[in-house]
């Protein structure tokens, strides 16, 4: 990315939102945080934001999904009972599959297409944010933890298949969601061309000891870890990891906002300023290192999640796109 003029880009479409006549409220996940974050940014910057925004052309196709997921897994997704377990809303087992496909899987497939598009754009323009994605618990054969398709793995594999990364270049995953990113760790278990940095609360779901062995730079945290401790660990670990990864062609940042102190599930204690500082630090670090950066959202289970996401994108747009 040397000498590339930064042109930060947002990838977004209103189709990302999940609407279920209110049933989605049975899971603490804010399934409309995507449009809430975008509306907040649109309100701040007005029309110039739209010139920095692009939408995926289509949802991810079955052929593309098969580059990471097995055919038998994609078949199993045709069961409402199975889907209801993945998204942890038992009542959905009674909803016919075509409805779940339209209301749940389709928005997620658009979200996956968004991460793939953002990865492609980041290589040309330096920074791209997909206002969705970060489905980091889905593996080749299994969906869990509200994640069905591994957008992160699909985006990396798509770059490789298109020869957009050279042989020596690593794809780096920087997973700062409060939960361990066991899905992509399992998918890339044997693939050393991906460098995985994971910083997470080790005492909450998924506690996947097998996947954990695949993490290149492992930063397990104790529940209740506060902003000062978190940021000092991050400031030490991230530069060391980038150095250890050696040549990084693209970085995918899972910016889960469930590290926030008022999050129901993350069980960490970062206040709003600490979450924002975390995002600013990661973004600035990759810009300074001249490594293309893709930001995806990951988890976030507080009503404040969308505001924290918008704050990170607001920072990118002011600092690197010159928007006011
Ligand atoms: Zn999470």
Q: Does the pLDDT value for residue 1 go beyond 60?
A: no
Domain count within the chain: 1
Measured in Å, residue 302 CA sits from the centre of ligand 1 at 11
C-alpha of residue 23 to centroid of ligand 1, in Å: 20
Tens-place pLDDT, residues 12-36: 999 999 887 776 666 666 788 999 9
Kindly state whether residue 219 falls inside one of the protein's structural domains.
yes
- With vertex at residue 154, the alpha carbon angle to CA 150 and CA 156, rounded to the nearest 5 degrees, is 120
Tell me how far the alpha carbon of residue 322 lies from the centroid of ligand 1, in angstroms: 31
- Rg of the chain over Cα atoms, rounded to whole angstroms, equals 18
What is the mean predicted confidence (pLDDT) over 207-227?
A: 98
What is the domain extent for residue 44? 9-321
The alpha carbon of 167 and the centre of ligand 1 are apart by a number of angstroms equal to: 31
> Between 301 and 34, whose confidence is greater?
34
Residue range 96-108: average pLDDT? 95
Q: How far is the CA of 187 from the centre of ligand 1 (A)?
A: 18
Q: Is the pLDDT of residue 3 over 60?
A: no
Is the backbone peptide bond immediately before 206 cis, with ω within 30 degrees of 0? Answer: yes
User: Residues whose CB is under 5 A from ligand 1 (ion)?
Assistant: 177-179, 256, 258, 299
pLDDT at position 236 is 98
Is 36 part of a structural domain of the chain?
yes
Measured in Å, residue 298 CA sits from the centre of ligand 1 at 6
**272-296 pLDDT, tens digit each:** 999 999 999 999 999 999 999 999 9
pTM above 0.85, yes or no: yes
Query: What pLDDT is stored for residue 271 in this prediction?
Result: 98
Catalytic, 78? Answer no
- Return the pLDDT at 249: 98
Residue 3, domain member (yes or no): no
CATH number, position 105: 3.40.800.20
Distances (CA, A) of 49 to 36, 45, 155, 232: 15, 6, 24, 33
Does some domain include residue 1? Answer: no
Q: For residue 2, is it within any domain?
A: no
Strands (E), the chain: 9-11, 53-54, 127-130, 170-175, 194-201, 217-221, 248-254, 293-296
Pair 302, 264: CB distance under 8 Å: yes
Domain for residue 221, yes or no? yes
Does 25 map to a domain?
yes
Interval between CA 137 and ligand 1 midpoint (Å):
9
Residue 276 covered by a domain: yes
Say what the pLDDT of residue 31 is. 81
Q: How far is CA 180 from CA 37, 64, 206, 210, in A?
A: 24, 25, 6, 12
Residue 227 has a CB neighbour count (10 Å cut-off) of 19
**Cα 48 from chain centroid (whole Å):** 25
pLDDT on residue 301: 85
Whether 226 has a pLDDT exceeding 50, the answer reads yes
Q: Exactly one of 137, 179, 184, 203 is catalytic; which is it?
A: 137
For residue 138, the CA-to-ligand 1 centroid distance in Å is 12
């Amino acid at each position: 990315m040397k000498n590339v003029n930064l042109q930060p880009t947002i990838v977004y479409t209103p189709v990302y939102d999940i609407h279920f006549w209110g049933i989605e409220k049975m899971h603490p996940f804010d399934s409309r945080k995507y449009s809430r974050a975008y509306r907040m940014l649109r309100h701040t910057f007005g029309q110039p934001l739209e010139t920095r925004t692009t939408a995926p052309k289509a949802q991810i196709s079955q052929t593309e999904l098969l580059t990471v997921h097995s055919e038998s897994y994609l078949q199993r997704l045709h069961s409402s009972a199975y889907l209801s377990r993945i998204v942890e809303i038992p009542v959905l087992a009674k909803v016919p599959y075509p409805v779940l496909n339209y209301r749940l899987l389709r928005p997620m497939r658009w979200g996956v297409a968004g991460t793939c598009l953002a990865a492609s754009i980041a290589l040309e323009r330096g920074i791209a944010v997909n206002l969705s994605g970060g489905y980091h618990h889905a593996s080749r054969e299994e969906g869990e933890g509200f994640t069905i398709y591994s957008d992160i793995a699909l985006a990396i594999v798509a770059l490789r298949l298109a020869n957009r990364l050279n042989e020596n270049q690593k794809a780096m995953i920087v997973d700062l969601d409060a939960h361990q990113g066991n899905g992509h760790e399992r998918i890339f278990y044997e693939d050393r061309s991906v460098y995985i940095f994971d910083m997470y609360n080790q005492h909450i779901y998924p506690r996947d000891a097998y996947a954990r062995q695949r993490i290149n730079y492992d930063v397990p945290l104790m529940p209740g870890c506060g902003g000062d401790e978190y940021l000092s660990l991050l400031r030490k670990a991230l530069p060391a990891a980038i150095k250890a990864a050696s040549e990084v062609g693209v970085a995918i940042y899972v910016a889960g906002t469930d590290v926030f102190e008022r999050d129901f599930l993350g069980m960490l204690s970062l206040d709003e300023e600490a979450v924002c500082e975390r995002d600013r630090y990661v973004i600035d670090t990759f810009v300074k290192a001249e490594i293309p950066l893709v930001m995806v959202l990951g988890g976030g289970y507080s009503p404040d999640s969308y505001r924290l996401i918008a704050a990170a994108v607001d920072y990118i747009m002011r600092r690197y796109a010159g928007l006011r």
